[in-house]
Amino acid sequence: MCGIVGYVGMRASQDVLMGGLKRLEYRGYDSAGVAILSTDGGLLAHKRAGKLSVLADDLDSRPLSSGTTGIAHTRWATHGAPTDANAHPHLADGGKLALIHNGIIENFQELKAELVAGGEEFLSETDSEVAALMLAREFRTHSNLTTAMQAVVGKLEGAFTLLAVHTDAPGVVVGARRNSPLVVGLGDGENFLGSDVAAFVAYTQKALALGQDQIVTITPESVSVITFEGDPVTPAEFTIDWDASAAEKGGWSSFMAKEISEEPEAVANTLRGRLGADGVVTLPELDVLFAGDATISRIIFIACGTAAYAAMLGAYAIEKWSGIPVSVELSHEFRYRDPAVGAGTLVVSVSQSGETMDTLMAVRYAAEKGAKTLSICNTQGATIPRESDAALYTFAGPEVAVASTKAFLSQVVASYLLGMYLGQRNGVLGESESKKLADDFDALPAQLEEMVETGPRIKELAGWMADTRSVLYLGRHVGYPVALEGALKLKELAYIHAEGFAAGELKHGPIALIEPGQIVFVIVPSPRDPSSLHSKVVSNIQEIRARGARVIAIAEKGDAAVLPFADEVIQIPLASSFMEPLLAVVPLHIFGMELAGAKGLDIDQPRNLAKSVTVE
């Protein structure tokens, strides 16, 4: 959830830290703060409730003193309301130590009681202040910030990333992580820490990803990593494959608008180098799944939110193309029902950030039970791909808007590639069908460009629906996950009731919701495919229209059967059944964004949400 940045080097740390927070604000925007070790040996800190702009305005009028070492934080509240007092950093040791925290300390009540009994005074309602006061106490004992951190983390339970500085340890930032992300940026005479690489990509594209239960100490000239037990570690270095400009708006009205415009490119990047014109899929990163003649007899997708809907689309394709049974489960439900997994089961996690805590814990559970694990992820160096047996990166580029768009499409495409790979490996997907799919994929980016260009018309529709209180979405087969995705975007962005239904369920209850004027989006399958259920969906449209619904149909060009029964038709290019949902979802992404805009809401930072959910 929260965004954290650490810096030590030769630059003015306030500039580095605030720039990093700006690129990380999608992780939390309830409050923000910075702490800097000043050149005169003191510690200066300032924090404010509200979005980052509140803190930025304060610092513009009253800059902190110069210093080249510091830490910074943007918060998504878990313990304690978003107030100035609960904002990070938390100070201790008479104002000489500052600490920031991402995650939840589950045993904080017990630790707080111990600290209060020892005479410590708390100034906030957060669990994070417990760690600050404990670290200050250990520093007074050890006089070494790394050793003090090691003593503290052994007593904490839960999920946490901690960064700290102390006036008696100038030019040093110490961090620790358990079940929460932390990466290191490697510079020349400077080093960085961040929740993800966006924190420092403006300065370096060389990075290290910390493993579970590790402590890192950075100075301008060195990076050292140890385990919580004190054993030295040498993390693997990786190169960030995008630069800071990719995380800037670049003249767009919102990050979401920019990212929707990048959907065709995201799909092309996910396909690049993996699918030949002959239809052969090349995914050498998956070879490890078949080491020692291992076989896959069952696949379980685990994901949350938008990623789960992408997995649902993938499941349809994989089962058809490979003949392997596939199911999709919500990560936060999966491990708590004691599922039967083991040898022969492939558990595929889908997560844009690779840090989704529910999904990470489900992956660990599956691995403990003996299943193979594969991560579909967009973020290099993230925890889930590093802890999985194999990783299939989507290469969608940074996604800053909280509501996912281009990542959704790239996750679907990666899942489709997995299905083709398994089908070809199993001898189920033949050469002619593979070649046809390759042709479909080749046409897809240009078709997506065409759908992005429907934006002005969708904006008009959203304009006259600004006072709408409820929108329903219907779809069948691959249209059903699209209906769910469209409804989720409206909930996230416009804060109105929205539900997606399998159209076949309509007469089993949901049709009771239909009343005159009720807006219903219907994802209509192609009439060219005899198995597409087109006639049944048109019948559904007639049923709801007869009861006064206002129907907006998303249908392919030339579908005359739907025209007499729809109030509005958004046309998509002719495509195969598994490509249609990728085209149909684009106007739904645009609609959610434009309806939020018509209501004057924050498109990139919807209330109560953060981009990466790193707590359960």
List active site positions.
Answer: 2, 611
C-alpha 296/C-alpha 556 separation (Å) is 36
Helix 108-117 with 128-142: angle, nearest 10 deg: 50
C-alpha 330/C-alpha 172 separation (Å) is 41
C-alpha 182/C-alpha 209 separation (Å) is 7
Question: And the tokens for 30?
Answer: 């309830």
Give the DSSP per-residue string, 414-440: HHHHHHHHHHHHHT-S-HHHHHHHHHH
* SS3 (DSSP) at 198: helix
In terms of Cβ atoms closer than 10 Å to its own Cβ (0-12, 13-18, 19+), residue 574 is middle
- Phi/psi at 272 (5° precision): -55, 130
C-alpha 451/C-alpha 446 separation (Å) is 9
Q: Which of 447, 376, 386 is nearest to 408 (CA)?
A: 376
Write down the H helix ranges in 453-501: 455-464, 479-494
CA 427 to chain centre: 34
Q: Is the peptide bond before 89 cis (omega within 30 degrees of 0)?
A: yes
- On the CB side of 371, CA atoms within 13 Å amount to 28
